[in-house]
Structure 1
Amino acid sequence: MRLRSWKARGSWKARSKRTLIAAALTTTIVTGTTGWAVGNEQQPLTGPPPGTQAWRADHTWGVPLPDPAATAPARVAAFFDSLSEAQQHRLAARHPSVVGNLDGAPTALRFKANSLSLKAERAREQKRESDPGLTLQDHERARSLITRYEELLSPGRQILAFDPRGRGQVAEVYGDLASARHVSVVVPGSDMDLSTFDRSKDQYGTPAGMARSLHATAGDDTAVVAWAGYTTPVGLGPDAATGRLAEAGAPRLAQFVQGLTASGAPRPAVFCHSYGSVVCGLAAPQLPASDLVVLGSPGMRADSVTDLHTSARVWAAKDDSDWIGDVPNVELFGLGHGEDPADPGFGARRVPAERAEGHTGYFAPGTDSLQAFAAIAETTAPSIPDDGTAGSAPAADARPIGERP
């Protein structure tokens, strides 16, 4: 009886501790008692790209066009392979917003289609800017979008996805995706959208800044895609503490990466920052990635690497100055994202990050974390050495990941 009593008391204490942690997390997130900004609830952008209705109604080709909402990227790739180059370009000119976002379509064709879409959106906003029936606020918003679209249309930019709806989504390629021996994809966390995608402030916390830095360090053999293709949380309010937006974003990420491989790219290393690691964790079973690398992660909605159900190597980086370390690693009552991937018990290979600073410093030039990321991005070997503090598989040699030959 006494043994049973002690076990019951221990179980009660454990449940009470988890409840108290969850309550503290709720208070922290919802009331902002630590100084975090409470974010506005966001409605995730889901479904096929704009223009899909006209695409579905187009029977001029004599065969049904692949449904963007139901056709796997591999079948999309096969459809475009059956067309001549002239037919592909005519299709992109007729339906640029669909072709530009159609995972599995040829990369160069998507670049062209998104250029057309950006020009069309710029023209639309130019009309709005001078429309006397609109408010001054509408005119100001139009001018801001015109500037944004002109920046994305700058010579040399390679826009692989573009959707102006909502806060706007975009993906951009750095390097030559067609000839690259290695490919990486960067998945950002909160507050990233069309307007903040490549902002100059805190640039290494943006998808464009992270991707540019990784490409510059890894070299020309590696192409890097900055993917802001899901609705991210705004601030650190309830959206950031729950998996709702990640659940909507995970299928979009999985399909995007499937589209890359269907178009002939090698399986990429996927780098997931902050809330982006929640998206990656949920997408992992359907993600054809060689590596999953999480940095500044609040959790992946998994208790261990095994729970991710992925064949990819899993890596984790967290520096001591990152405030994410103060967030309780729980998942209770829908709040929190589970175990810390950087904890040895999770089973991820640990990436050194002693020289990284803060939550957005992992891709900063000169850091050990960036050097390690580049080494991961550049290799296709079956095993990569880590820093020895955690690991799911034995290292191939004794050197830390950051020490490349």
Structure 2
Amino acid sequence: MSAMTLRELLAADTTAFHSAASGWEGLAEDLDNTVESYISSTRDLGHVWSSGPAAQQAQTRVAKLRREISNAYQPARQIFHALDHHAYALGDLQRQAAGIIERAREDGYVIDETTGQVTARTGERTSGSVDAELRAVQSYADQLTVVVDRARSLDEQTAAELRRHLPDRDTGFGDLRPRDVSRQEVEQVRGRPPQEVAGWWYSLTPEQQEQVLAQFPDLIGSLDGIPASDRDTANRALFGGMKDDLQRREDELNRRITELLLQPAASLNERNANLRLAEELRRDLADIDAQQARLGKVDAALAQLGDRGYLLGLDTAGDGRAIIAVGNPDEARHTAVWVPGLGTTLDSTKGNVERVMHLQEAADVLTPGRAGDVATVMWLGYDAPELDLSVALEERSRQGAGPLVNFVDGLHATHLDGSTHLTVVGHSYGSTVVGEAALSGNLRADDLITAGSPGTHADHADQLMADPRHVWAGSATDDPVSNPTGNPYSVGALAGAHGTALGGLTEALVAAYDDGHGPSPHTDQFGANRYTVDTHGHSDYWNSGSESINNQARIVVGEYSATTIDHGQRPPDLP
């Protein structure tokens, strides 16, 4: 049993344990980065130097070193957790002991901090008061004994945990290959809360993480709770596979069409049959061309971002879904998640990414000396409505609310120091998705921004956030969605704002779009801050240099006092 005394408990320096924990956390992160770099730089060794005794020896040594570095990561991380837990638990025990001592002294008892002995008050006593004082003395002594015993137990548990993760004197951390993670294990993680997903991911060694990324990118890429850089790795592998598969299918279809057209026919019927089949294959080819064009929009957006781009989600089913970050949200001090609205598909990716890129650039210049302190995310993680009855109904926004909540939870779970300031921005119907997520009470956002909103399904800003000063709404005076009154309002104006064909819409459907989602959040009665907008129409809120985007950037970095507003009450600036 540990020999810790009450005096030692009271004098213990928890700051030193916090500092040591931080050092081990940094070491674990460095090991993770090192092994990732080492694996990527030596991955092709067997291909470029594949034969001969020297080649075999080199590959063996590379694998051994890779595994030992990888195997050192988990012990370092577990030591960090042990010291971190020890620091917080020890601080709590110190406060408990100090509270007991303070209450005892207020009652007139004397405490020996070396032995923990409690001495009764002096003076005349009746027999009844003596018994009461003895019981009180015993009670205070017992309480202190329990706290000191807990401190001793904590001391022993932490010491044992530290010893358990130290390297072996002869073999270090070993070079045994860690067990492979199965697809079934990864599938079982899907659907868990992002915090649990993050815990599972960090429980793997870097080599296991590398194995999962290489073998199951389709499972990892969309998993909230996986760090942004790893999701990007998985999704880019998935993206490359999609493009390669489409190219193979295109080549095969072209080959078959050519064969059918050149194939000698024994009869006119056979010739006509070949022509009909070739025409069917051309329709399949046109579909593949369309898919390639849609992926090309994603490719162009990522190319424009370069090293700043992170592909956090990709799905080509239906209209398609994509999540793309400008900057790494796990490292940024300020992160904004931007939710697009009506008519958004993969075809819209490049233009939407340019909007969040402009927002990131406008916000990042407000944190001088800290480049990369802001990340923005284009989150098309739901099936946005088309210009039909779906835009007037709540179903799509309700379907999108849960995934948005999970994504935001995932950003919190993977942020390196947990101190991110997070803003969620909704454009058009995207603001109804944000509203539904906020109304659930589970959206962990510090600020909400809407632009061109038809309504958020809330009647007042305090339904979206406990402090309505952190709800911000913007509306251009000639926006046909958020400001229909007094505008040349028509179906055509709404369709044109979204670049959407009219189809069979009627004025009644347009009215339903505005009336079906609650009051506009930029009105006085709603209770939000209306930030100044100097842009026109429904889609220009993120024009570079505009007061509209500059105001949103100020909100994203917490410079509320600099935000120009038409009405409302600004909260205090972030420190």
Please, what TM-score do these two structures have when normalized by structure 1? 0.74
Is residue 350–residue 386 contact of structure 1 (8 Å, CA) maintained in 2? no
Letter in 1 for 2:357: R
Where does residue 50 of structure 1 map in the other structure?
A: none
Q: Indicate how the Cα distance of structure 1 residues 323 and 112 shifts in structure 2: closer, same or farther if over 3 A, else same.
A: same
Where does residue 258 of structure 1 map in the other structure?
A: 409
Superposed, 1:240-389 pairs within 5 Å as 240-264=391-415, 266-284=420-438, 285-310=441-466, 313-324=470-481, 325-326=483-484, 336-353=516-533, 355-379=534-558, 384=561, 387-389=564-566
Q: CA deviation at 1:215?
A: 1.1
CA–CA distance in 1 between the matches of 2:546 and 2:234?
37
Is residue 465–residue 471 contact of structure 2 (8 Å, CA) maintained in 1? no
Letter in 2 for 1:307: Q
Superposed, 1:134-149 pairs within 5 Å as 135-149=281-295
Is residue 432–residue 517 contact of structure 2 (8 Å, CA) maintained in 1? yes
CA–CA distance in 1 between the matches of 2:190 and 2:515?
30
CA–CA distance in 1 between the matches of 2:376 and 2:570?
28
Q: Secondary structure at the match of 1:177?
A: coil
Superposed, 1:5-404 pairs within 5 Å as 61=181, 64-65=185-186, 67=188, 69-130=190-251, 131=253, 132=256, 135-149=281-295, 151-152=298-299, 154=303, 156=307, 157-198=309-350, 203=351, 206=352, 208-219=353-364, 220-235=372-387, 237-264=388-415, 266-284=420-438, 285-310=441-466, 313-324=470-481, 325-326=483-484, 336-353=516-533, 355-379=534-558, 384=561, 387-391=564-568, 393=569, 395-396=571-572
Query: Which segment drifts farther, 120-129 or 243-252?
Result: 120-129
Question: Residues 147-170 of structure 1, C-alpha deviation per residue, up to 9 Å, x if partnerless?
Answer: 443552645342111112221111
Letter in 2 for 1:314: V
Query: Which segment drifts farther, 77-86 or 139-148?
Result: 139-148
Q: CA deviation at 1:267?
A: 4.0
Is residue 187–residue 219 contact of structure 2 (8 Å, CA) maintained in 1? no
Is residue 183–residue 377 contact of structure 1 (8 Å, CA) maintained in 2? yes
Q: CA deviation at 1:310?
A: 5.0
Q: Secondary structure at the match of 1:373?
A: helix
Where does residue 34 of structure 1 map in the other structure?
A: none
Letter in 2 for 1:140: A
Letter in 2 for 1:232: A
Q: Secondary structure at the match of 1:252?
A: helix
Letter in 1 for 2:479: D
Structure 2: which 5+ runs fail to align?
Answer: 1-178, 257-276, 365-371, 486-507
Is residue 186–residue 210 contact of structure 1 (8 Å, CA) maintained in 2? no
Q: Indicate how the Cα distance of structure 1 residues 83 and 395 shifts in structure 2: closer, same or farther if over 3 A, else same.
A: closer
Q: CA deviation at 1:209?
A: 2.2
Q: CA deviation at 1:194?
A: 1.4
Question: Residues 193-244 of structure 1, C-alpha deviation per residue, up to 9 Å, x if partnerless?
Answer: 212211xxxx4xx3x1220110121123211111111100112x21111111
* Structure number with larger C-alpha Rg: 2
Where does residue 38 of structure 1 map in the other structure?
A: none
Q: CA deviation at 1:144?
A: 3.4
Query: Which structure shows the bigger proportion of residues in helix conformation?
Result: 2
Letter in 1 for 2:546: T
CA–CA distance in 2 between the matches of 1:142 and 1:333?
34
Moved over 6 A (4+): 330-335
Q: Indicate how the Cα distance of structure 1 residues 113 and 69 shifts in structure 2: closer, same or farther if over 3 A, else same.
A: closer
CA–CA distance in 1 between the matches of 2:484 and 2:514?
19
Q: CA deviation at 1:343?
A: 0.6
Letter in 2 for 1:245: R
Q: Secondary structure at the match of 1:192?
A: coil
Letter in 1 for 2:211: R
Structure 1: which 5+ runs fail to align?
Answer: 1-58, 398-405
Is residue 96–residue 116 contact of structure 1 (8 Å, CA) maintained in 2? yes
Letter in 2 for 1:230: Y
Query: How large is the RMSD of aligned CA atoms in angstroms?
Result: 2.8
Q: Secondary structure at the match of 2:411?
A: helix
Is residue 331–residue 338 contact of structure 1 (8 Å, CA) maintained in 2? no
Query: Which segment drifts farther, 163-172 or 61-70?
Result: 61-70
CA–CA distance in 1 between the matches of 2:205 and 2:180?
15
Give the share of equivalent positions with the same residue, in percent. Answer: 30
Please, what TM-score do these two structures have when normalized by structure 2? 0.53
Question: Residues 293-338 of structure 1, C-alpha deviation per residue, up to 9 Å, x if partnerless?
Answer: 001000000100122255671100001011111179x999996100
Q: Indicate how the Cα distance of structure 1 residues 215 and 388 shifts in structure 2: closer, same or farther if over 3 A, else same.
A: closer
Larger relative contact order (CA 8 Å, sep ≥ 6): 1
Is residue 424–residue 445 contact of structure 2 (8 Å, CA) maintained in 1? yes
Is residue 97–residue 117 contact of structure 1 (8 Å, CA) maintained in 2? yes
Q: Secondary structure at the match of 1:326?
A: coil
Q: CA deviation at 1:180?
A: 1.6
